[in-house]
Structure 1
Amino acid sequence: MEHLRKKVLFFIAMVGLGITANHLIIQLIIKLDYVVRTDYLNAIIYSGGILWGVISTKILNAKEEHSMDSNRIPISYLEELNQKNTLTNLPNKISLEKRFEEMLGRSPKENFNILCIDVDGFKMVNDTLGYEIGDQILVRIAERLKKTINKEGELFHIRGDEFVLLIQKEDSMEKIQKLSETIIKAMAMSFVFSEKEIHLTVSVGIAGYPWGGSNLNLLLQNAHIAVQAAKESSKSKHLVYDDSMNIKMNRKLELINNLHKALEKKEFELYYQPQIDSETNEIVGLEALLRWQNPTLGRVSPAEFIPVAEETGLIIPIGDWVLKTACAQNATWQKEGYKPIPVSVNISTIQFNEPLFVDKVVTILKETTLNPKWLHLEITESVAINDATLTINVLNRLQKIGVKIALDDFGTGFSSLGYLSKFKINVLKIDSSFVQDIGEDESTITKTIIVLGKNLNMEVVAEGVETNEQLDYLKNAGCDIIQGYLFSSPLPAGQIEKMFKLAA
């Protein structure tokens, strides 16, 4: 290093761990004994309040080198800086590691707990509002957490949207879970930025030393597994780590690994469930439903793999394949002379929010030669109300090209009459949970939804119809279209074609 030191003043070392895309700051760190401030920078890597490294190579002559002496900063300042998250000013993971070692050194048999606090869906905040607002929200989250926790433990900001609370006292698990509930309730209160209300939730995972891990990395890993389990069970929950969670996490990893290769290996297939005219019993539509048969895992339920695909972003290429395959199949049936009917395709929030989603739909329709009026896109209430302005814009563009929109699982979310009229929905689908309880209180709700749809000039489709009693009620209530196992389960394209031939 010495021979370089004479000519290259800045010899940079990578320090710190963890990275997010939330914070960029100019800071120089030198693997010598001081920090030098300079405007001559070639590359800076500083993210999420944690420094990863900087590379700068300015050649100085002796006179310039001497003039830099006044800009030296003691290494003690650097060490202190390196243990703080510069965004929230909370102790970071390096500080947590140091604290953990101190505690073990003082009393190896001491029991303590860590709470991993993770903000749900924070990526969407960054994607929709931008990283600058995302940073401001993280600062406010940190402030609210500090206020809520008070003196119950030590709070650390270890990366991005993840915080850790270290509790040294030998509190009962009941008390720790109550603290978790307090944190969750506090974080559920909205944040206001630029006159806009932002609602966030957190999930909390709990692991204790030594039962939840013999070292810090294992403790953090298991607390994070508990967080993921809490997210999957229900948003804004807290769970204590247990070994069964590892089995679920391993299953999830197995799903992710196999999902990555599923498209390439042609493991997906579309099934189609007929939609029946309630008066004529004719097939008047089909819903395309994705099925996955893996050589190792066997038949995997969509309820299990679709959330994983959404979480990993694989829903984008998978969703593209579904849309293109459904359109191509429908175009083929029409070319073979079968009566034209629409095919409905489910669209996830992630797909819908893609900037070029509408362009993608247009391209697929052109490539498959399908007339847009024979494509229905199904969105859920959560997709519709996530960003009302975006939703209205996208739906208007889709309807301009002739594609119809169906609102799926109506009645299970938070839609209002105002949203329904603004979004100009073409088809209203009654969730199967209401249909299954026909004969009880839900039958009133079902009838109300049918009347609502009719008054707004929408077609009404009832999903999950399984009994003649349900069918009779829906027909008498004025429901247009019936879908469910009473008529047919979802079937592969070949069997649907046989049904077409029988009906011809």
Structure 2
Amino acid sequence: MDVKVETNDESVLQKQQSKQHSPIRESLNVNILDALPINIFLEDQDGRTVFANKVTCESNGLTLDEVVGKTVFDIFPNKIAKKVREHDLEVWKSNKLITKEEITGFKGETCYMYTGKTIVQFGDESLLLGFALDITARVKAEEKIEHMAYHDALTGLPNRWYIHSYVETFIQKHPNKKMALLLLDLDHFKVINDSLGHQAGDQLLQEVSKRLSKVIDKSECLARIGGDEFIIFLPDVNSYHDCYLLCEKVNSVMSEPFLIGQRKFTVTTSIGISVFPADGEDIHTLIKHADIALYRSKASGRNGFQFYNPTMKTYANERLDKEILLRQALERDEFVLHYQPKLNLDTNQIYGFEALIRWDQKDKGIIGPGAFLQVAEETGLIVPIGEWVIRQACLRCKAWHDAGYSHLTVSVNLSASQFHKHNLEKIIVDALTESGLPSNALELELTESTVMHHPEEAVRTLQQLKKLGISISIDDFGTGFSSLSYLTQFPIDTLKIDQSFIKDVEENQANAAIASAVISLSHSLGLNVVAEGVEKEEEMQFLRFRNCHFVQGYHIAKPMQEEEVFVFLKQLM
């Protein structure tokens, strides 16, 4: 007589269920399925597991015997199990293969799975066959690639491609909203990069991005679009005053000095602003017009902001045309040097000339530096132009020496960009070597503002230049409001009194006091002193009486072309 024994022992039930489906398991090639690196499993219509391969068991921390007979509610948290069971029922209902990518958060880790389920027949029994492939590594790699494509590697901010896509999409969704684009550029960043090195420049850009991130709210977007240029997108602007307030915030966070390495310095920004839809109806036009406003901001003295208006386009087009012509002028050798003599008041003899650049436009004649040097400075063309000036001046002075005027010197003005270039010393050495000019016949003139921008760095650069045997002069002295304490640290030879203090010096008491003070200061420091812009005999007599060493200006002679120099020198003999 058979006796039916009822039991609640779970292990016994599992064994019974396992035996129940053993024919199915025996029909499977378990060794092959266990070797596959994906989850494979079989379930009956009630959701009970009939079979699971090795990867499936290990991923759940169970043995095959522990998995068989269990449902997803026995293995996964209820929230996940419910979602999985709903998917199972969908497959049973459709009787089709259903695949999808899904995110799971089992065991506290986010995983991306590619899953597929379908109904298969084992004899008379229908079972659900499922597989699940962990694609987390692939998805994260794709996310990383996408992030790299749309984010700046240095600062982690969105990049040009991101902001273009973001703004274009926003405009399409909200065509009636007023929006604004702020284009920011660091003032004199190239000088900082050249003087402190690219590593310090990169560190500065990272610090700037952190500060700018603090001034925007969650609805606004900050991006670095290249070099030292940043964009802030304001998606909802009530009035121009909103842009003004944000610019004030930017100026405020940028006002604190930056500490890069062991050095502290202040960096300012220039900002150009365009507003949608008045200044453009797409991202490209908005950026172009913001860029035009940015350059107007720089032309107005930097450390400020400008809203775009259509009249600026004329200025921008003229500037672009001038930049193109300047590049062509370099290629076509259209620049020339004129030379203004400098007089020694003690000997009443000409002791040297200052080289002054001119642009010989064949159709317009000779153009002075005031018409093109600012554009050259903004575009970086000042550096190759400056190199050309140094070479030409050295060659010309050597020609004077060869003609018997070996006492003459030549002075060349250095721009801030040139002064902070790492290869300045090599450029000067090459020019002296190429020309054969003795180093003591070359004088470099730097403005007060150039050496005071980064005085500690300037001291080191000047010391290296002095080792070459050349002379150093501070031009336009008195206009830069520099600290006199640095004057004793700079290895300089000469101070040049700015011509604004020489004009009508015999009548203007303020000018007379400043000129006299600079002359006295120069004597005390053992420096030579040159007065620029002397145009009248009364001015020269004033300077002679106060023991000014040297003078130059129209009263002595106007700047002259190189062929006129020999004529001028012969007349003095």
Structure 2 distance, partners of 1:252, 1:393, is 35
User: 1:174 deviation in Å?
Assistant: 4.1
Q: More relative contact order in 1 or in 2 (CA 8 Å, sep 6+)?
A: 1
- The answer on whether the counterparts of 1:114 and 1:207 sit within 8 Å (CA) in structure 2 is yes
User: 1:411 deviation in Å?
Assistant: 1.8
Structure 1 residue 166 and structure 2 residue 233: aligned?
A: yes
Matched residue of 2:286: which SS?
helix
Question: Number of matched residues?
Answer: 441
Distance of aligned partners of 1:479 and 1:181 in 2 relative to their CA distance in 1, 3 Å threshold: farther
User: 1:79 deviation in Å?
Assistant: 4.9
Match of 2:263 in 1: 196
User: 1:105 deviation in Å?
Assistant: 2.9
Post-superposition Cα deviations, 1:257-291, rounded to whole Å, max 9, x if no partner, equal 22223234221111011112335543232111011
> 1:303-342 to 2 correspondence within 5 Å?
303-338=370-405, 340-342=407-409
Amino acid at match of 1:252: R
Amino acid at match of 2:532: E
Match of 2:490 in 1: 423
Structure 1 residue 121 and structure 2 residue 188: aligned?
A: yes
Structure 2 distance, partners of 1:367, 1:204, is 44
Matched residue of 1:423: which SS?
coil
The normalised TM-score by structure 1 is: 0.78
Structure 1 range deviating more: 277-286 or 342-351: 277-286
Match of 1:8 in 2: none
User: 1:414 deviation in Å?
Assistant: 4.8
Structure 1 residue 445 and structure 2 residue 514: aligned?
A: yes
Match of 1:409 in 2: 476
User: 1:144 deviation in Å?
Assistant: 1.7
- The answer on whether the counterparts of 1:330 and 1:370 sit within 8 Å (CA) in structure 2 is yes
Structure 2 distance, partners of 1:148, 1:475, is 58
- The answer on whether the counterparts of 1:181 and 1:238 sit within 8 Å (CA) in structure 2 is no
Amino acid at match of 2:560: L
Q: Which runs of 5+ in 2 are unaligned?
A: 1-99, 102-132
Match of 1:262 in 2: 329
Q: 1:478 aligns with which of 547, 564, 567?
A: 547
Match of 2:73 in 1: none
> 1:350-429 to 2 correspondence within 5 Å?
350-388=417-455, 390-429=457-496
Distance of aligned partners of 1:467 and 1:155 in 2 relative to their CA distance in 1, 3 Å threshold: same
The normalised TM-score by structure 2 is: 0.70
User: 1:132 deviation in Å?
Assistant: 4.1
Post-superposition Cα deviations, 1:82-116, rounded to whole Å, max 9, x if no partner, equal 54445444443344334433433334233222111
Q: Which runs of 5+ in 1 are unaligned?
A: 1-32, 35-66
Match of 2:523 in 1: 454
Distance of aligned partners of 1:451 and 1:221 in 2 relative to their CA distance in 1, 3 Å threshold: same
Distance of aligned partners of 1:144 and 1:475 in 2 relative to their CA distance in 1, 3 Å threshold: same
Structure 2 distance, partners of 1:267, 1:420, is 38
- The answer on whether the counterparts of 1:92 and 1:157 sit within 8 Å (CA) in structure 2 is yes
> 1:39-58 to 2 correspondence within 5 Å?
none
User: 1:204 deviation in Å?
Assistant: 0.5
Q: 1:224 aligns with which of 286, 291, 305?
A: 291
Structure 1 range deviating more: 82-91 or 220-229: 82-91
Post-superposition Cα deviations, 1:411-461, rounded to whole Å, max 9, x if no partner, equal 222533332222221111011222236314233222111111111111111
Matched residue of 1:424: which SS?
coil
Structure 1 range deviating more: 191-200 or 84-93: 84-93
User: How many percent identity over aligned positions?
Assistant: 35
Match of 2:201 in 1: 134
Amino acid at match of 2:513: T
Amino acid at match of 2:400: W
Amino acid at match of 2:520: V
- The answer on whether the counterparts of 1:153 and 1:168 sit within 8 Å (CA) in structure 2 is yes
Structure with larger Rg: 2
Match of 1:207 in 2: 274
Structure 1 range deviating more: 146-155 or 459-468: 146-155
Structure 2 distance, partners of 1:368, 1:240, is 50
Structure 1 range deviating more: 306-315 or 250-259: 306-315
Structure 2 distance, partners of 1:94, 1:333, is 57
Structure 2 distance, partners of 1:224, 1:123, is 18
Structure 1 distance, partners of 2:157, 2:468, is 52
Structure 1 range deviating more: 307-316 or 418-427: 307-316
Amino acid at match of 2:316: M
- The answer on whether the counterparts of 1:149 and 1:183 sit within 8 Å (CA) in structure 2 is no
Structure 1 range deviating more: 475-484 or 292-301: 292-301
Matched residue of 2:548: which SS?
coil
- The answer on whether the counterparts of 2:195 and 2:421 sit within 8 Å (CA) in structure 1 is no
RMSD over equivalenced CA pairs, Å? 3.0
Match of 1:246 in 2: 313
User: 1:187 deviation in Å?
Assistant: 1.1
